[in-house]
Amino acid sequence: MTQHSRRAVLIGGGAALLALGAGVGLVAAGRDPGFEQTFLTVDEMKATGGLIVDIRTPPEWAETGVIDDAVLLTFTGPDRFLDQLAPALADGRDLILVCRSGNRTRAAAQAIQGRIPNRIVSIEGGMKRVIASGYRTVPAG
């Protein structure tokens, strides 16, 4: 198990329902931040204090490497995804989503917007653009 996959396992758990319940209350109270599609450098992502989540697949992580300290969690649907991330997002930090090109993160952000009170950022251009901007990835394993 890699450092990154261990992190994904550690942030899941029973606290998810409690955290999501609190989030639903905020959304119901009229706070629906939606999501934004924008490009941020890795330094800018980290400066937000947000949770960076790479939603690609393990073969993609192995092919290009990953952002250091990103959570590696393939997006397979909003319920499982939010259940696993809720404890780490309970403090209100931004959720920053990264995929290969930005298409999957846009779709994932659309699927989860309004379900959590956190700001959701879909990284435009994905890892292709992150790498093209000069970022040196780390091995996924």
Number of domains composing the chain:
1
* Domain span holding position 118: 3-132
Cβ atoms 85, 53 nearer than 8 A: yes
Per-residue pLDDT tens digits for 42-89: 999 999 999 999 999 999 999 999 999 999 999 999 999 999 999 999
Residue 137 lies in a domain: no
Selection from 55, 64, 52 nearest residue 141 by Cα: 64
Residue 20 sits in a domain whose CATH number is: 3.40.250.10
Q: Distance (Å, rounded) from C-alpha 75 to C-alpha 104?
A: 8
CA proximity to 122, closest of 23, 40, 66:
40
pTM: predicted TM-score of the whole model, two decimal places = 0.78
| pLDDT above 90 for 9 | no
- Return the amino acid letter for 40: L
Burial grade of 45 (CB within 10 A; 0-12, 13-18, 19 or more): buried
User: Is 139 inside a domain boundary?
Assistant: no
User: Taking residues 26-49, what's their average pLDDT?
Assistant: 77
Asked if the structure places residue 141 within a domain, the reply is no
Is 11 domain-assigned? yes
**How confident is residue 141, by pLDDT bands cut at 50, 70 and 90?**
confident
- Helix ranges (H only) for the chain are 3-10, 15-28, 42-47, 58-64, 78-89, 103-112, 126-132
pLDDT of amino acid 22: 36
